[in-house]
Amino acid sequence: MSELRNDWTKEEISEIYNRPLLELMYQAATVHRAHHNTGEVQVCTLLSIKTGGCPEDCAYCPQSARYQTGLEAEKLMEPSTVISAAAKARAAGSTRFCMGAAWRDARKNKDFENVLTMVRGITAMGMEVCCTLGMLTDEQAAQLKEAGLYAYNHNLDTSEDYYKDIITTRSYEDRLQTLETVRNHDISVCCGGIIGMGETHEDRISLLHTLSTLPEHPESVPVNALIPVQGTPMENMKRVSVWDMVRMIATARLTMPKAMVRLSAGRVHMSKEEQALCFMAGANSIFTGEKLLTTDNNDLGEDMEMFELLGLKPRESFKDAKEKHLPVTT
Ligand code: SAM
Ligand code: DTB
Ligand code: SF4
């Protein structure tokens, strides 16, 4: 029931996704227990190191230069400022620091050198460093790895079919290519999607099918609920129900048992009870801190209360690497 498989069919995934909800949750909780310590949740912090002014047209994104969202485009932050922010996040209990840039692809200039400096500095503090910088060349992936980068986030966001309705300035194939480049350099892959963008259940199943049939499952799978931002084409989308989040999380858990499944954007709108359902369904990672990239996140005090209430503890950093006996850079 919980073996690692890369040969899932869409029909099998659809059958799982559509199981009676409580049965689905029970099975996901069982598989979660077989592969992870269910008392641990990975605590990650995000920082937007280069905000806004992005040339891409992702319909959900407040950072695209094409939409009037009231967000000011900023330059890349200074490495010293970013490294101090990471130290603060670490002191608040975070073990993974994820830096996001509103780029179509990583630059080939001083900005990229500065990102490498950030990666080196934060890795040296013993945190798992993750970046999300858009498309990467082979050489850039090698340089990031060399600087100590632990993980790279690059989401597929939705099904291949629906992708064209959400983004026209790049293709699904471009996304898959960067994922392969990252994998080739032995960087941990973080790849997931967003629900609530007007996609069908079949689109969600198709996204999970693509993820779970990659040659290797992503080590992290972020499940985001759309945050409808004023000024984007998605501003009037209705909030997704928690039941849809639970189905998505549980199906990700059952098809990719070893992955860290991250309850990502949208958590800010969830009660503790709703979040508890997501943890029961197999989520074992969250973002904490004041902001995600540009939108508000849950209050840290409330999150600590929730951990206390549910008996959860933050997961230590580099646990995967330690279990796989890989060299860790701390
Ligand atoms: N520019 C890079 C890229 O697109 O890969 C990195 C940053 S981009 C903002 C990272 C991810 O944030 C997107 O792939 C998307 O999944 C998520 N995201 C952006 N805006 C969102 C929103 N309004 N609601 C939920 N998730 C969002
Ligand atoms: C992911 O899947 N979700 C995070 C992270 N990876 C980079 C980003 C969420 C962004 C939400 C909108 C914002 O704050 O701008
Ligand atoms: Fe740019 Fe990334 Fe936002 Fe798309 S999701 S507009 S690529 S920052």
Could you tell me the residue range of the domain that residue 20 belongs to? 10-316
Number of domains in the chain: 1
| Cα–Cα nearest to 162, from 198, 191, 134 | 198
Query: Alpha-carbon distance 206 to 269, whole Å?
Result: 26
User: Does residue 222 belong to any structural domain of this protein?
Assistant: yes
Kindly state if the Cβ of 61 falls inside 6 Å of ligand 1.
yes
54: helix, strand or coil: strand
Query: Alpha-carbon distance 191 to 181, whole Å?
Result: 13
**Would you say residue 7 has pLDDT above 80?**
yes
User: Does residue 181 belong to any structural domain of this protein?
Assistant: yes
Positions annotated as catalytic residues are: 54, 58, 61, 98, 130, 190, 262
What's the confidence (pLDDT) of residue 319?
75
pTM: 0.95
In sequence order, the 6+-apart residues with CB closer than 8 A to the CB of 309 are 272
Q: What angle do helix axes 300-310 and 272-280 make, rounded to 10 degrees?
A: 50
pLDDT (tens digit, 9 = 90+) per residue, 182-198? 999 999 999 999 999 99
- List the residue whose alpha carbon is closest to atom 2 of ligand 3: 102
Atom of ligand 3 nearest to the CA of 134: 7
Atom of ligand 3 nearest to the CA of 132: 2
pLDDT (tens digit, 9 = 90+) per residue, 92-101? 888 899 999 9
Kindly state if the Cβ of 155 falls inside 6 Å of ligand 1.
yes
**Would you say residue 238 has pLDDT above 50?**
yes
**How large is the average pLDDT for residues 25-47?**
95
Query: Alpha-carbon distance 59 to 286, whole Å?
Result: 24
151, 96 contact by CB (below 8 A) = yes
User: Does residue 326 belong to any structural domain of this protein?
Assistant: no
Query: Alpha-carbon distance 57 to 169, whole Å?
Result: 6
Dihedral sign for Cα 55, 57, 61, 67, please.
Answer: positive
Q: Ligand 3 center to residue 323 CA distance, Å?
A: 34
Kindly state if the Cβ of 134 falls inside 6 Å of ligand 3.
yes
pLDDT (tens digit, 9 = 90+) per residue, 244-282? 999 999 999 999 999 999 999 999 999 999 999 999 999
**Would you say residue 323 has pLDDT above 70?**
no
User: Does residue 54 belong to any structural domain of this protein?
Assistant: yes
Query: Alpha-carbon distance 33 to 271, whole Å?
Result: 24
CATH number where 282 lies? 3.20.20.70
User: Does residue 174 belong to any structural domain of this protein?
Assistant: yes
User: Does residue 199 belong to any structural domain of this protein?
Assistant: yes
Q: Which residue do the tokens 């209990």 mark? A: 93
